[in-house]
Structure 1
Amino acid sequence: MLTLPNILTLSRIFTVPVLVGLLWWPEWPLGYGLGFAIYCLMGITDYFDGYLARAQGTVSKLGVFLDPIADKIMIAAVILVLAARGILTGPYVGSLHVIAGLVILLREIAVSGLREFLGSAQVSVPVSKLAKWKTTAQMVALGALILGTALPHWMWLIDGYEVNVPHTVGLTTLWTAAVLTVITGWDYLRIGLKHMD
Protein backbone atom coordinates (compact mmCIF):
# COMPACT_ATOMS: atom_id res chain seq x y z
CA MET A 1 0.00 0.00 0.00
CA LEU A 2 1.86 3.05 -1.26
CA THR A 3 0.60 5.84 0.96
CA LEU A 4 2.51 9.14 1.23
CA PRO A 5 4.21 8.06 4.50
CA ASN A 6 5.38 4.81 2.86
CA ILE A 7 6.65 6.72 -0.18
CA LEU A 8 8.65 8.99 2.15
CA THR A 9 10.11 5.94 3.90
CA LEU A 10 11.04 4.31 0.58
CA SER A 11 12.60 7.58 -0.59
CA ARG A 12 15.02 7.38 2.36
CA ILE A 13 16.08 3.88 1.35
CA PHE A 14 16.55 4.79 -2.31
CA THR A 15 18.49 7.95 -1.41
CA VAL A 16 21.13 6.06 0.63
CA PRO A 17 23.32 5.22 -2.45
CA VAL A 18 23.28 8.90 -3.46
CA LEU A 19 24.35 9.90 0.06
CA VAL A 20 27.10 7.28 0.09
CA GLY A 21 28.35 8.51 -3.28
CA LEU A 22 28.57 12.10 -2.05
CA LEU A 23 30.39 11.08 1.14
CA TRP A 24 32.95 8.88 -0.61
CA TRP A 25 35.38 11.76 -1.32
CA PRO A 26 36.25 13.63 1.91
CA GLU A 27 38.57 15.91 -0.05
CA TRP A 28 35.46 17.25 -1.86
CA PRO A 29 33.82 19.65 0.67
CA LEU A 30 31.00 20.50 -1.76
CA GLY A 31 30.04 16.82 -1.94
CA TYR A 32 29.88 16.71 1.84
CA GLY A 33 27.84 19.91 1.85
CA LEU A 34 25.35 18.32 -0.55
CA GLY A 35 25.51 15.13 1.52
CA PHE A 36 24.69 17.12 4.66
CA ALA A 37 21.65 18.68 2.94
CA ILE A 38 20.44 15.25 1.80
CA TYR A 39 21.09 13.76 5.24
CA CYS A 40 18.99 16.52 6.85
CA LEU A 41 16.24 15.97 4.29
CA MET A 42 16.27 12.23 5.07
CA GLY A 43 15.96 13.05 8.77
CA ILE A 44 12.99 15.30 8.07
CA THR A 45 11.25 12.60 6.05
CA ASP A 46 11.93 10.18 8.94
CA TYR A 47 9.92 12.47 11.21
CA PHE A 48 7.14 13.21 8.75
CA ASP A 49 6.48 9.66 7.54
CA GLY A 50 5.50 8.59 11.07
CA TYR A 51 3.69 11.84 11.84
CA LEU A 52 1.61 11.71 8.64
CA ALA A 53 0.80 8.02 9.06
CA ARG A 54 -0.58 8.66 12.55
CA ALA A 55 -2.32 11.93 11.64
CA GLN A 56 -4.01 10.45 8.56
CA GLY A 57 -4.77 7.11 10.20
CA THR A 58 -2.79 5.34 7.49
CA VAL A 59 -0.38 3.35 9.66
CA SER A 60 0.25 0.20 7.64
CA LYS A 61 2.09 -3.07 8.16
CA LEU A 62 4.40 -2.10 5.29
CA GLY A 63 5.23 1.21 7.01
CA VAL A 64 5.79 -0.44 10.39
CA PHE A 65 8.13 -2.92 8.64
CA LEU A 66 10.00 -0.42 6.46
CA ASP A 67 10.51 2.54 8.82
CA PRO A 68 13.04 0.94 11.21
CA ILE A 69 14.79 -0.74 8.28
CA ALA A 70 15.17 2.61 6.48
CA ASP A 71 16.63 4.15 9.65
CA LYS A 72 19.11 1.32 10.17
CA ILE A 73 20.21 1.28 6.52
CA MET A 74 20.86 5.03 6.59
CA ILE A 75 22.73 4.99 9.91
CA ALA A 76 24.79 1.91 9.03
CA ALA A 77 25.71 3.24 5.59
CA VAL A 78 26.86 6.61 6.97
CA ILE A 79 28.87 5.05 9.81
CA LEU A 80 30.60 2.61 7.44
CA VAL A 81 31.44 5.28 4.86
CA LEU A 82 32.74 7.72 7.48
CA ALA A 83 34.87 4.95 9.00
CA ALA A 84 36.16 3.82 5.60
CA ARG A 85 37.07 7.34 4.53
CA GLY A 86 38.90 8.16 7.77
CA ILE A 87 36.38 10.66 9.14
CA LEU A 88 35.95 8.83 12.47
CA THR A 89 39.33 9.99 13.73
CA GLY A 90 40.18 12.79 16.09
CA PRO A 91 42.37 14.07 18.90
CA TYR A 92 43.50 11.98 21.88
CA VAL A 93 42.38 8.55 20.65
CA GLY A 94 42.87 8.80 16.89
CA SER A 95 40.98 6.12 14.97
CA LEU A 96 39.58 4.51 18.13
CA HIS A 97 36.49 6.66 17.57
CA VAL A 98 35.50 3.91 15.13
CA ILE A 99 34.66 1.81 18.21
CA ALA A 100 31.74 4.13 19.01
CA GLY A 101 30.34 3.52 15.54
CA LEU A 102 30.94 -0.22 15.88
CA VAL A 103 29.05 -0.32 19.20
CA ILE A 104 26.07 1.38 17.54
CA LEU A 105 26.09 -1.05 14.60
CA LEU A 106 26.39 -4.13 16.81
CA ARG A 107 23.53 -2.97 19.00
CA GLU A 108 21.29 -2.38 15.98
CA ILE A 109 21.95 -5.92 14.74
CA ALA A 110 21.40 -7.45 18.19
CA VAL A 111 18.18 -5.53 18.88
CA SER A 112 16.82 -6.36 15.41
CA GLY A 113 17.42 -10.04 16.10
CA LEU A 114 15.85 -9.74 19.53
CA ARG A 115 12.79 -7.98 18.14
CA GLU A 116 12.41 -10.70 15.51
CA PHE A 117 12.59 -13.39 18.19
CA LEU A 118 10.13 -11.59 20.47
CA GLY A 119 7.82 -10.91 17.52
CA SER A 120 7.58 -14.65 16.85
CA ALA A 121 6.69 -15.05 20.54
CA GLN A 122 4.08 -12.28 20.08
CA VAL A 123 5.83 -10.00 22.56
CA SER A 124 5.94 -6.29 21.71
CA VAL A 125 8.92 -4.21 22.83
CA PRO A 126 8.03 -0.52 22.83
CA VAL A 127 10.71 2.06 22.08
CA SER A 128 11.80 3.73 25.33
CA LYS A 129 12.38 7.47 25.77
CA LEU A 130 16.07 6.77 26.33
CA ALA A 131 16.20 4.88 23.01
CA LYS A 132 14.69 7.94 21.30
CA TRP A 133 17.43 10.09 22.87
CA LYS A 134 19.98 7.58 21.58
CA THR A 135 18.55 7.88 18.08
CA THR A 136 18.61 11.68 18.30
CA ALA A 137 22.23 11.67 19.52
CA GLN A 138 23.43 9.42 16.71
CA MET A 139 21.56 11.44 14.07
CA VAL A 140 23.10 14.68 15.38
CA ALA A 141 26.54 13.05 15.63
CA LEU A 142 26.60 11.80 12.06
CA GLY A 143 25.19 15.06 10.74
CA ALA A 144 27.89 17.03 12.59
CA LEU A 145 30.62 14.74 11.23
CA ILE A 146 29.36 15.27 7.70
CA LEU A 147 29.12 19.03 8.25
CA GLY A 148 32.64 19.15 9.70
CA THR A 149 34.04 17.65 6.50
CA ALA A 150 31.96 20.09 4.43
CA LEU A 151 33.49 22.98 6.43
CA PRO A 152 37.15 21.97 6.82
CA HIS A 153 38.29 25.47 7.82
CA TRP A 154 35.96 25.82 10.82
CA MET A 155 38.82 25.29 13.29
CA TRP A 156 39.47 26.14 16.95
CA LEU A 157 42.60 25.66 19.03
CA ILE A 158 41.71 23.43 22.00
CA ASP A 159 44.31 22.12 24.43
CA GLY A 160 47.08 22.53 21.87
CA TYR A 161 45.10 20.72 19.15
CA GLU A 162 43.63 22.48 16.16
CA VAL A 163 40.19 20.90 15.86
CA ASN A 164 37.28 21.23 13.49
CA VAL A 165 34.30 22.39 15.60
CA PRO A 166 31.43 20.38 14.04
CA HIS A 167 33.68 17.32 13.69
CA THR A 168 34.59 17.45 17.39
CA VAL A 169 30.93 17.90 18.35
CA GLY A 170 30.13 14.93 16.11
CA LEU A 171 32.72 12.65 17.73
CA THR A 172 31.64 13.66 21.24
CA THR A 173 27.97 13.09 20.44
CA LEU A 174 28.80 9.78 18.75
CA TRP A 175 30.34 8.52 22.02
CA THR A 176 27.26 9.77 23.88
CA ALA A 177 25.10 7.80 21.46
CA ALA A 178 27.33 4.73 21.94
CA VAL A 179 26.90 4.88 25.73
CA LEU A 180 23.13 5.25 25.37
CA THR A 181 23.23 2.40 22.87
CA VAL A 182 24.77 0.06 25.45
CA ILE A 183 22.26 1.11 28.13
CA THR A 184 19.19 0.75 25.92
CA GLY A 185 20.52 -2.46 24.36
CA TRP A 186 20.88 -3.96 27.83
CA ASP A 187 17.32 -2.86 28.68
CA TYR A 188 15.97 -4.64 25.59
CA LEU A 189 18.05 -7.73 26.37
CA ARG A 190 16.68 -7.89 29.93
CA ILE A 191 13.12 -7.81 28.55
CA GLY A 192 14.02 -10.48 26.01
CA LEU A 193 15.62 -12.80 28.55
CA LYS A 194 12.35 -12.95 30.47
CA HIS A 195 10.73 -14.62 27.48
CA MET A 196 13.49 -17.15 26.81
CA ASP A 197 13.41 -20.64 28.34
Structure 2
Amino acid sequence: MTTANKITIVRILMIPFFIWCAMQDTVAFQIAALALFCVASFTDFLDGYVARKYNQVTDFGKFVDPLADKLLVTAALLIFIEKGYFAAWMVFIILAREFIITSLRIVAANKGRVLAATWTGKVKTCVQIGGVILLFLSQIVFELTPQGAYSAPQPIWTGLIWWLAPWVVTLVTLYSGFDYLRKNWDLIKDGAVKEK
Protein backbone atom coordinates (compact mmCIF):
# COMPACT_ATOMS: atom_id res chain seq x y z
CA MET A 1 0.00 0.00 0.00
CA THR A 2 1.32 3.44 -0.90
CA THR A 3 2.08 6.14 1.65
CA ALA A 4 -0.74 8.30 0.28
CA ASN A 5 -3.25 5.49 0.71
CA LYS A 6 -2.03 4.82 4.25
CA ILE A 7 -2.66 8.46 5.11
CA THR A 8 -6.19 8.16 3.72
CA ILE A 9 -6.85 5.02 5.77
CA VAL A 10 -5.63 6.81 8.90
CA ARG A 11 -8.17 9.56 8.18
CA ILE A 12 -10.97 7.00 8.08
CA LEU A 13 -9.76 5.37 11.30
CA MET A 14 -9.82 8.76 13.04
CA ILE A 15 -13.55 9.23 12.38
CA PRO A 16 -14.90 6.95 15.18
CA PHE A 17 -12.63 8.69 17.72
CA PHE A 18 -13.80 12.07 16.43
CA ILE A 19 -17.45 11.03 16.79
CA TRP A 20 -16.95 9.71 20.30
CA CYS A 21 -15.15 12.85 21.50
CA ALA A 22 -17.67 15.16 19.84
CA MET A 23 -20.58 13.46 21.59
CA GLN A 24 -19.11 14.01 25.06
CA ASP A 25 -20.27 16.99 27.11
CA THR A 26 -16.99 18.29 28.48
CA VAL A 27 -14.98 21.09 26.91
CA ALA A 28 -11.84 18.95 26.90
CA PHE A 29 -13.49 16.36 24.66
CA GLN A 30 -14.88 19.07 22.38
CA ILE A 31 -11.35 20.43 21.97
CA ALA A 32 -10.13 16.90 21.25
CA ALA A 33 -12.88 16.45 18.65
CA LEU A 34 -11.94 19.74 16.99
CA ALA A 35 -8.27 18.74 16.95
CA LEU A 36 -9.10 15.36 15.41
CA PHE A 37 -11.27 16.99 12.75
CA CYS A 38 -8.57 19.52 11.87
CA VAL A 39 -5.87 16.84 11.62
CA ALA A 40 -8.15 14.60 9.55
CA SER A 41 -9.01 17.51 7.24
CA PHE A 42 -5.31 18.30 6.81
CA THR A 43 -4.61 14.70 5.79
CA ASP A 44 -7.01 15.25 2.89
CA PHE A 45 -4.52 17.77 1.49
CA LEU A 46 -1.52 15.71 2.56
CA ASP A 47 -2.47 12.42 0.87
CA GLY A 48 -3.22 14.21 -2.39
CA TYR A 49 0.09 16.06 -2.24
CA VAL A 50 2.04 12.89 -1.54
CA ALA A 51 0.23 10.96 -4.28
CA ARG A 52 1.02 13.60 -6.91
CA LYS A 53 4.57 14.37 -5.80
CA TYR A 54 5.70 10.74 -5.54
CA ASN A 55 3.57 9.37 -8.38
CA GLN A 56 1.40 7.31 -6.04
CA VAL A 57 -1.95 7.95 -7.72
CA THR A 58 -3.90 4.66 -7.65
CA ASP A 59 -7.44 3.50 -8.39
CA PHE A 60 -7.75 2.56 -4.72
CA GLY A 61 -6.82 6.10 -3.73
CA LYS A 62 -9.26 7.61 -6.22
CA PHE A 63 -12.03 5.56 -4.61
CA VAL A 64 -11.12 5.82 -0.92
CA ASP A 65 -9.98 9.46 -0.73
CA PRO A 66 -13.32 11.10 -1.63
CA LEU A 67 -15.11 8.45 0.45
CA ALA A 68 -13.02 9.39 3.50
CA ASP A 69 -13.84 13.07 2.98
CA LYS A 70 -17.56 12.42 2.76
CA LEU A 71 -17.54 10.14 5.81
CA LEU A 72 -15.73 12.76 7.89
CA VAL A 73 -18.01 15.65 6.95
CA THR A 74 -21.13 13.49 7.22
CA ALA A 75 -20.13 12.42 10.72
CA ALA A 76 -19.76 16.07 11.77
CA LEU A 77 -23.10 17.07 10.23
CA LEU A 78 -24.97 14.23 11.94
CA ILE A 79 -23.41 15.25 15.24
CA PHE A 80 -24.60 18.81 14.64
CA ILE A 81 -28.14 17.56 14.08
CA GLU A 82 -27.88 15.90 17.50
CA LYS A 83 -26.60 19.15 19.01
CA GLY A 84 -29.29 21.21 17.30
CA TYR A 85 -26.96 23.30 15.12
CA PHE A 86 -28.13 21.83 11.81
CA ALA A 87 -31.69 21.12 10.73
CA ALA A 88 -32.17 17.61 9.37
CA TRP A 89 -33.44 18.97 6.05
CA MET A 90 -30.20 20.92 5.59
CA VAL A 91 -28.11 17.79 6.07
CA PHE A 92 -30.44 15.95 3.69
CA ILE A 93 -29.75 18.54 0.98
CA ILE A 94 -26.00 18.30 1.57
CA LEU A 95 -26.00 14.51 1.43
CA ALA A 96 -28.32 14.48 -1.59
CA ARG A 97 -25.85 16.68 -3.44
CA GLU A 98 -23.04 14.23 -2.67
CA PHE A 99 -25.09 11.23 -3.84
CA ILE A 100 -26.14 13.01 -7.04
CA ILE A 101 -22.62 14.08 -7.99
CA THR A 102 -21.22 10.64 -7.15
CA SER A 103 -23.82 9.08 -9.43
CA LEU A 104 -22.95 11.61 -12.12
CA ARG A 105 -19.30 10.64 -11.88
CA ILE A 106 -20.26 6.98 -12.34
CA VAL A 107 -22.24 7.85 -15.48
CA ALA A 108 -19.32 9.88 -16.76
CA ALA A 109 -16.88 7.05 -16.10
CA ASN A 110 -19.09 4.63 -18.00
CA LYS A 111 -18.91 6.99 -20.95
CA GLY A 112 -15.15 7.28 -20.71
CA ARG A 113 -15.22 10.80 -19.31
CA VAL A 114 -13.61 12.16 -16.16
CA LEU A 115 -15.35 14.98 -14.32
CA ALA A 116 -12.71 17.48 -13.33
CA ALA A 117 -13.11 19.20 -9.98
CA THR A 118 -14.67 22.63 -10.42
CA TRP A 119 -13.88 25.73 -8.42
CA THR A 120 -17.35 25.54 -6.85
CA GLY A 121 -16.60 22.01 -5.68
CA LYS A 122 -13.36 23.15 -4.07
CA VAL A 123 -15.09 26.11 -2.45
CA LYS A 124 -17.80 23.75 -1.19
CA THR A 125 -15.24 21.53 0.49
CA CYS A 126 -13.49 24.49 2.11
CA VAL A 127 -16.79 25.99 3.30
CA GLN A 128 -17.95 22.68 4.78
CA ILE A 129 -14.69 22.15 6.66
CA GLY A 130 -14.57 25.80 7.72
CA GLY A 131 -18.19 25.68 8.89
CA VAL A 132 -17.57 22.60 11.03
CA ILE A 133 -14.46 24.14 12.59
CA LEU A 134 -16.25 27.42 13.26
CA LEU A 135 -19.19 25.71 14.95
CA PHE A 136 -16.89 23.67 17.18
CA LEU A 137 -14.82 26.76 18.04
CA SER A 138 -17.88 28.85 18.89
CA GLN A 139 -19.23 26.08 21.10
CA ILE A 140 -15.92 25.67 22.92
CA VAL A 141 -15.46 29.41 23.46
CA PHE A 142 -19.06 29.78 24.62
CA GLU A 143 -18.70 26.97 27.16
CA LEU A 144 -15.48 28.49 28.49
CA THR A 145 -17.13 31.86 29.15
CA PRO A 146 -19.20 32.75 32.22
CA GLN A 147 -22.25 32.89 29.95
CA GLY A 148 -21.78 29.26 29.04
CA ALA A 149 -20.83 28.16 32.53
CA TYR A 150 -23.90 29.67 34.16
CA SER A 151 -26.36 29.02 31.33
CA ALA A 152 -26.98 32.73 30.87
CA PRO A 153 -28.37 34.05 27.56
CA GLN A 154 -25.90 33.31 24.78
CA PRO A 155 -23.80 36.15 23.33
CA ILE A 156 -25.07 37.58 20.05
CA TRP A 157 -21.96 36.51 18.11
CA THR A 158 -22.30 32.83 19.02
CA GLY A 159 -25.98 32.84 18.14
CA LEU A 160 -25.14 34.47 14.80
CA ILE A 161 -22.51 31.83 14.01
CA TRP A 162 -24.83 28.97 15.01
CA TRP A 163 -27.52 30.39 12.72
CA LEU A 164 -25.38 31.61 9.80
CA ALA A 165 -22.85 28.77 9.39
CA PRO A 166 -25.44 26.04 8.61
CA TRP A 167 -27.14 28.27 6.05
CA VAL A 168 -23.87 29.18 4.31
CA VAL A 169 -22.73 25.55 4.20
CA THR A 170 -26.11 24.38 2.85
CA LEU A 171 -26.46 27.07 0.19
CA VAL A 172 -22.86 26.78 -1.05
CA THR A 173 -23.21 23.00 -1.25
CA LEU A 174 -26.51 23.33 -3.11
CA TYR A 175 -25.03 25.77 -5.62
CA SER A 176 -22.01 23.52 -6.14
CA GLY A 177 -24.29 20.63 -7.02
CA PHE A 178 -26.29 22.80 -9.41
CA ASP A 179 -23.05 23.95 -11.07
CA TYR A 180 -21.89 20.35 -11.63
CA LEU A 181 -25.25 19.36 -13.11
CA ARG A 182 -25.41 22.44 -15.32
CA LYS A 183 -21.95 21.85 -16.77
CA ASN A 184 -22.46 18.11 -17.28
CA TRP A 185 -26.15 17.88 -18.10
CA ASP A 186 -25.28 16.40 -21.51
CA LEU A 187 -24.26 13.20 -19.68
CA ILE A 188 -27.78 12.49 -18.46
CA LYS A 189 -30.06 14.47 -20.77
CA ASP A 190 -30.70 11.42 -22.98
CA GLY A 191 -34.19 10.27 -22.00
CA ALA A 192 -34.69 13.14 -19.56
CA VAL A 193 -36.31 15.34 -22.18
CA LYS A 194 -38.78 13.89 -24.65
CA GLU A 195 -37.85 14.68 -28.20
CA LYS A 196 -40.50 16.36 -30.34
Q: What's the TM-score once normalised by structure 1's chain length?
A: 0.83
CA contact (8 A) 2:85 2:162 kept: no
The 1-side partners of 2:140 and 2:163 are apart by 15
What are the equivalent positions in structure 2 for 1:15-54 lying under 5 Å apart? 15-25=14-24, 27-54=25-52
CA contact (8 A) 1:103 1:182 kept: yes
The 1-side partners of 2:74 and 2:96 are apart by 10
Computing the radius of gyration from Cα coordinates, the structure with the larger value is: 2
Q: How far is 1:75 from its partner?
A: 0.6
CA contact (8 A) 2:127 2:169 kept: yes
Higher strand share: 1
The 3 A distance-change label for structure 1 pair 37 and 166 is: farther
Aligned to 1:123: 113
SS of 2:154's equivalent in the other structure is: strand
Percent identity at matched positions?
25
Please tell me whether residue 114 in structure 1 is matched to residue 107 in structure 2.
no
The 2-side partners of 1:5 and 1:21 are apart by 26
SS of 2:187's equivalent in the other structure is: coil
The 3 A distance-change label for structure 1 pair 33 and 3 is: same
The 1-side partners of 2:160 and 2:144 are apart by 13
Q: How far is 1:168 from its partner?
A: 4.0
Q: What's the TM-score once normalised by structure 2's chain length?
A: 0.83
Q: Please, which runs of 5 or more residues in structure 2 have no aligned partner?
A: 148-152, 191-196
SS of 1:194's equivalent in the other structure is: helix
Quick check: 106-115 or 67-76, which moved more? 106-115
RMSD: 2.2
CA contact (8 A) 2:120 2:179 kept: no
Aligned to 1:8: 7
Q: How many residues align?
A: 183
